[in-house]
C-alpha cells in the first residue's frame, strides 16, 4: 500500500531532480528554461513538503544547498567561508515578521532601535575576490557555495575591481564579495549585434554576465563591459576591521570599489518597506537589473549572535520584487526586413501590461528561437520584461493551446514585392548561422528603406532636418529612392517640390534650410562614404580601416574592380590589409560584382566630393609596428594613446602575441606583461614610449 509518506518521498525526489536540472541550466549553461519566479515556486513547494515531512531533509536537498556543482572548465577554489544564499520575503508581512523575529531572538528592549542596511539585490553573478596585503590574488565564482571556480584572470579585466586596494588600513587578508553585472544598454546592444550576426542571444543580462565571466579566454571577458558592486566579505584576517555593515560599505568605497549608491541604513520595518517601494519605482531607471532588496542587520555583533539556519543567515533576507510577467495571446508573427536583409520575426500580441508598461510587439529573434520555444500563432504566451526594458516571450502555456494551432513555418520568400528567395546566412567559415536573409539586396524595398535610413542617419550623412520620419515620407512620395536622390532634391521639378512642401507642411524657410543642410554634406570623408554604402559587415570601424588602407576613393574603387575581375592577387590583397578578414573581403567583392549596387554607388559618388583619408605616417619610428598598451597609463587615456599611435602608423592590438613589437606597460600590468616577457617582446614604460615617439 502506498502511504502519504511514500507519495511525498516520490514528489520530493521529483522536485529535487527538477530543481537540480534547472540550477545546472542557470548556473553552468547560462540557458535557463524557467523564469526566476517559476523557479522560486519549485523551491517553495519543496520547502513546504519538507516542513510536513522533515525526515525528507538531507544535506543534499536543494533547500540545504546553493548554486550548482562547478564545471571542470576552471580550477576549483575552496571557499574558506561558504558563499551562502538568502532567505526570501515576498510580502510586507514577511518583512515585519523578519524584524520581529530578530528583535525577539536578540531580546531587544521595545524602546531600543535596531538598524538595518538595505541594499538593492543586484541580479548578476556573485564573486569572491581575495586580496593579500592589498593585492588582488584570486577570484572565484560561488559554485555550490563551498567549491567555486577560479576566474582570476577574467575578474582582473573588470574595470571597477581594483588590482591594488586604495587607501590604508586594509586587513592583510580579505575576501571581498559582491556581484558582477552587465549594464542594460550594453546588453541590448550586444544582443542586437549577436542577433544580426546570427550568433547566440542571451535571455537576460545575468546570463550574459555569467557567460562573459566564465570564458576560458580573458580577452573575451575584457571585451564585455562588466561591472561590479561590492557588498560583503568572506575570510578576513581581522574580523573586527569594522563594527557594522554600513561601515564595511564605506571602507569598500575608500579602497576603490563601487558600492551601490542606493544602499541605505534604516531602523525599522517601515523604513525597509519604504526603501523597497522607492527602489521598485526607480527600478527601470537604474541601468542594471535588480530583483529585490536585501535587508541586513547592521551591527556585526548582532549578526554573529543571530548566526545561520542551514544555507542562509538569520540576520538577512531578500525581499523579492513580484515577477514582471503577464499572459497574453499571440495574434500574429510578422516579418521585418533589416538593412542587410535579415528577416526578424516579431510577435504581435494582444496588448498587455507588464510591470507598468504596455507590451504589444516582441521580437522573436530568429527561426530557431521560435522552433526551440515551439511558439505558435494563437498560443497563450508568457511575456516578461527582462531588466525592465526588453520584453520577451518566456514560453507557451501548453495547456491552453488551441487544438488547431500549427507549428510556425518560417517564410521561404521575402515579404517584399520582389518575392525573392530567403537564404540561410552562412558565415566566412561556411557554417550555417541562425539568421535568414532576403537575397534581393537593395532591390528589395524593405532593405532599400532600411538602407536609406542608414544613409541619412547621424553616423553617415547626418543631415539636419532629414530624420527617419521625413525620409519615409520622401520615400513614399517617390522623391528619394536611393542615396543620390537626397542631393537631387533641390533640382526637382516644381510639382515635386510643391508635393514636398504640402506633405511636410514645410514653409519656404525650412525647405531652404533643408537644402542648405544637404549642400553642406556634399563634402564627405572617405570613411563616411564607405560606411554609407551599407555593405554587409562594414560598419564605422571597418570603413575607417578601409579608408586608411586605400587613402582615396579612386584607389579604393580600383582595388575593388581588380578583385571583381579576379586579377591575380587582387582578392588576397584585400585580406592583407590591416585587420580586414575574409568575410569583409567577400562582402566587398559581392557588392562590387552587383551591377545594381555599382549603379547606386556611381550615382551617389557623382553627387559628392569625397575627401582623401588622413595620411598615416610611414616614416615614424613606430610605423608598421604592433603595439599593446597594458596597465594604467598616467599621462593620457587609452583612447588618446591609441589614436596617437595609429596616427604615427602603428597598429594597436588588444592582446600580446608573437606578432607584437612593443608592449607599453603602466602600473598594474598583469598577464599581458607576463606574456610579453615570456615571448621576449620589447617592454617599455609610458615615458619611454613617449620619448620614442618624440612627445
Ligand atoms: S548578501 C550570506 N547583498 O543574492 C549572503 N547578496 O540570494 C550574502 N545578491 O548569492 C549575500 N545583491 O549573489 C547580498 N546586496 C546584496 C546582494 C546579494 C545581490 C545576491 C548574491 C547572493 C544572492 C542571495
Nearest atom in ligand 1 to the alpha carbon of residue 312 is: 2
Q: If we measure between CA atoms, which residue out of 316, 298, 319 comes closest to residue 307? A: 316
Cell digits of residue 446: 524593405
Inter-residue long-range contacts of 377-381, CB under 8 Å, 24+ positions, other chains counted: 377/330, 377/331, 377/332, 377/333, 377/405, 377/408, 378/329, 378/330, 378/402, 378/404, 378/405, 379/329, 379/330, 379/405, 380/327, 380/328, 380/329, 380/330, 381/327, 381/328, 381/329, 381/330, 381/347, 381/349
Span 424-456, pLDDT tens digits: 877 656 777 778 888 887 778 888 888 999 999
Give the nearest ligand 1 atom to 125 CA: 13
Q: What stretches in the chain show pLDDT beneath 50?
A: 388
Q: Answer whether 279 contacts ligand 1 (Cβ < 6 A).
A: no
Domains 440-521 and 525-611 share a fold: yes
Residue 516: all three cell numbers together: 542648405
Residues 345 and 334: their CA atoms lie apart, in Å, by 6
Task: Assess whether the C-beta atom of 144 lies below 6 angstroms from ligand 1.
Answer: no
Q: How far is the CA of 74 from the centre of ligand 1 (A)?
A: 23
Q: How many CB atoms lie within 10 A of CB 81?
A: 13
pLDDT of residue 135: 97
Full 3-state SS string of 327-393:
EEEEEEEEEEECCCCEEEEEEEEEEEEECCEEEEEEECCCHHHHHHHCCCCCCEEEEEEECCCEEEE
Residue 655 burial (CB count, 10 A): 14
Residues 6+ apart with CB under 8 A from 365: 195, 201, 344, 345, 434
Instruction: Report helix, strand or coil for 228.
Output: strand
Binding residues for Zn(2+): 414, 416, 438, 444
Q: Residues within the annotated binding site? A: 36-40, 85-86, 119, 142, 179, 296, 320, 414, 416, 438, 444
SS3 315: coil
Residue 318 CA: which ligand 1 atom is closest? 7
Give yes or no for residue 36 CB within 6 A of ligand 1. no
Place of cell 576613393: 553
Q: Which residues contact 426 (CB under 8 A, 6 or more apart)?
A: 432, 433
Question: Ligand 1 centre from 361 Cα, in Å?
Answer: 34
Beta bridge partners of 297: 116
Q: What is the pLDDT of residue 616?
A: 67
Structural domain boundaries of the chain?
A: 5-26+41-60, 88-320, 324-400, 440-521, 525-611, 626-692
The topology under which CATH files domain 626-692 is Rossmann fold (3.40.50)
Give the per-residue pLDDT at 473: 85
Pocket lining: 85 vs ligand 1, CB cutoff 6 Å:
yes
CATH number of 88-320: 3.30.470.30
Asked if residue 230 has its Cβ within 6 Å of ligand 1, the reply is no
Ligand 1 atom index nearest CA of 142? 10
- Best residue among 86, 118, 178 to mutate for probing ligand 1, ranked by most atoms within 8 Å of CB: 86
Question: What is the rounded distance in angstroms from the CA atom of residue 75 to the CA atom of residue 139?
Answer: 11
Q: How far apart are CA 684 and CA 682, in angstroms?
A: 7
DSSP summary character for residue 201:
P
Compute the distance between CA of residue 15 and CA of residue 34 in angstroms, rounded to an integer.
14
Q: Report pLDDT digits (tens) over 294-322.
A: 999 999 999 999 999 888 999 999 999 87
**What strands, in cross-sheet order, belong to the sheet with 357-363?**
357-363, 343-354, 325-337, 380-386, 390-396
Known catalytic residues are 121
CATH topology classification for 324-400: OB fold (Dihydrolipoamide Acetyltransferase, E2P) (2.40.50)
The class that CATH gives domain 440-521 is mainly alpha
Strands, E, within 155-266: which ranges?
173-181, 227-236, 264-266
How far does the centroid of ligand 1 lie from the alpha carbon of residue 625, in Å?
47
Q: Which CATH class name applies to 525-611?
A: mainly alpha
| Residue ranges at the known binding site for NAD(+) | 36-40, 85-86, 119, 142, 179, 296, 320
- Of the candidates 528, 518, 550, the residue with the CA atom closest to the CA atom of residue 454: 528
Nearest CA, atom 16, ligand 1:
121
Query: Measured from the CB, is residue 128 less than 6 Å from ligand 1?
Result: no
- Residue whose CA is at the smallest distance from ligand 1 atom 22: 85
Amino acid at each position: 500500500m502506498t502511504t502519504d509518506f511514500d507519495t511525498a518521498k516520490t514528489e520530493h525526489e521529483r522536485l529535487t531532480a527538477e530543481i537540480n536540472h534547472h540550477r545546472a541550466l542557470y548556473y553552468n549553461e547560462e540557458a535557463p528554461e524557467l523564469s526566476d519566479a517559476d523557479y522560486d515556486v519549485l523551491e517553495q513547494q519543496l520547502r513546504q513538503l519538507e516542513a510536513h515531512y522533515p525526515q525528507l531533509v538531507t544535506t543534499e536537498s536543494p533547500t540545504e544547498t546553493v548554486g550548482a556543482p562547478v564545471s571542470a572548465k576552471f580550477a576549483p577554489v575552496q571557499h574558506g567561508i561558504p558563499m551562502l544564499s538568502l532567505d526570501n520575503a515576498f510580502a510586507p508581512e514577511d518583512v515585519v515578521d523578519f524584524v520581529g523575529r530578530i528583535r525577539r531572538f536578540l531580546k531587544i528592549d521595545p524602546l531600543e532601535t535596531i538598524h538595518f542596511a538595505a541594499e538593492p539585490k543586484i541580479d548578476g553573478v556573485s564573486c569572491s575576490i581575495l586580496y593579500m596585503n592589498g593585492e588582488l590574488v584570486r577570484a572565484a565564482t560561488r559554485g555550490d557555495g563551498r567549491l567555486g571556480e577560479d576566474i582570476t584572470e577574467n575578474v582582473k579585466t573588470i574595470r571597477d575591481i581594483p588590482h591594488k586596494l586604495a587607501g590604508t588600513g586594509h586587513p592583510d587578508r580579505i575576501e571581498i564579495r559582491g556581484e558582477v553585472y552587465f549594464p542594460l544598454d550594453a546588453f541590448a546592444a550586444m544582443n542586437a549585434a549577436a542577433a544580426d550576426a546570427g550568433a547566440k542571444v542571451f535571455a537576460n543580462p545575468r546570463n550574459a554576465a555569467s557567460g562573459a565571466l566564465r570564458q576560458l579566454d580573458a580577452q573575451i571577458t575584457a571585451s564585455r563591459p562588466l561591472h561590479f558592486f561590492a557588498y560583503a566579505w568572506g575570510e578576513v584576517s581581522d574580523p573586527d576591521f569594522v563594527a557594522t555593515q554600513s561601515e564595511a560599505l564605506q571602507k569598500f568605497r575608500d579602497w576603490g570599489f563601487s558600492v551601490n549608491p542606493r544602499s541605505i541604513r534604516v531602523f525599522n520595518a517601515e523604513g525597509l518597506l519604504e526603501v523597497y517601494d522607492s527602489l521598485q519605482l526607480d527600478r527601470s531607471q537604474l541601468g542594471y537589473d535588480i530583483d529585490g532588496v536585501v535587508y541586513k542587520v547592521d551591527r556585526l555583533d548582532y549578526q554573529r549572535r543571530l548566526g545561520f539556519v542551514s544555507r542562509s543567515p538569520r540576520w538577512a533576507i531578500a525581499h523579492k520584487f513580484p515577477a514582471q510577467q503577464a499572459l497574453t495571446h499571440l495574434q500574429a508573427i510578422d516579418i521585418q526586413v533589416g538593412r542587410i536583409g535579415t528577416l526578424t520575426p516579431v510577435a504581435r500580441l494582444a496588448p498587455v501590461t507588464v510591470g507598468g508598461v504596455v507590451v504589444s510587439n516582441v521580437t522573436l529573434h530568429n527561426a530557431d528561437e521560435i522552433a526551440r520555444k515551439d511558439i505558435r500563432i494563437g498560443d497563450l504566451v508568457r511575456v516578461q520584461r527582462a531588466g525592465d526594458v526588453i520584453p520577451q516571450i518566456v514560453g507557451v502555456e501548453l495547456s491552453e493551446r488551441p487544438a488547431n494551432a500549427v507549428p510556425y513555418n518560417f517564410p521561404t520568400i521575402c515579404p517584399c514585392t520582389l518575392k525573392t528567395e530567403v537564404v540561410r546566412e552562412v558565415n566566412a567559415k561556411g557554417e550555417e548561422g541562425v539568421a535568414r536573409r532576403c537575397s534581393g539586396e537593395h532591390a528589395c524595398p524593405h532593405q532599400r528603406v532600411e538602407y536609406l535610413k542608414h544613409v541619412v542617419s547621424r553616423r553617415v550623412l547626418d543631415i539636419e532636418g532629414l530624420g527617419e520620419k521625413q525620409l519615409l515620407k520622401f520615400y513614399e512620395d517617390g522623391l528619394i529612392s536611393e542615396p543620390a536622390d537626397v542631393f537631387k532634391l533641390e533640382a526637382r521639378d516644381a510639382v515635386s517640390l510643391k508635393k514636398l512642401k504640402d506633405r511636410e507642411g514645410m514653409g519656404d524657410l525650412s525647405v531652404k534650410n533643408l537644402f542648405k543642410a544637404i549642400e553642406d554634406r556634399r563634402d564627405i570623408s572617405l570613411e563616411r562614404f564607405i560606411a554609407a554604402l551599407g555593405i554587409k559587415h562594414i560598419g564605422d570601424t571597418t570603413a575607417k580601416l578601409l579608408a586608411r588602407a586605400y587613402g582615396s576613393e579612386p584607389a579604393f574603387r580600383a582595388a575593388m574592380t581588380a578583385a571583381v575581375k579576379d586579377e591575380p592577387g587582387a582578392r588576397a590583397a584585400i585580406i592583407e590589409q590591416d585587420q580586414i578578414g575574409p568575410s569583409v573581403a567577400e562582402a566587398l567583392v559581392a557588392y562590387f560584382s552587383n551591377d545594381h549596387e555599382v549603379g547606386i554607388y556611381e550615382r551617389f559618388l557623382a553627387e559628392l566630393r569625397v575627401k582623401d583619408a588622413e595620411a598615416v605616417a610611414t616614416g615614424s619610428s613606430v610605423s608598421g609596428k604592433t603595439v599593446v598598451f597594458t596597465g594604467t597609463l598616467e599621462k593620457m587615456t587609452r583612447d588618446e594613446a591609441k589614436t596617437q599611435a595609429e596616427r604615427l602608423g602603428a597598429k594597436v592590438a588588444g592582446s600580446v602575441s608573437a606578432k607584437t613589437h612593443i608592449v607599453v606597460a603602466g602600473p598594474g600590468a598583469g598577464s599581458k606583461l607576463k606574456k610579453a616577457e615570456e615571448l621576449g617582446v620589447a617592454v617599455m614604460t609610458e615615458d619611454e614610449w613617449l620619448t620614442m615617439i618624440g612627445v
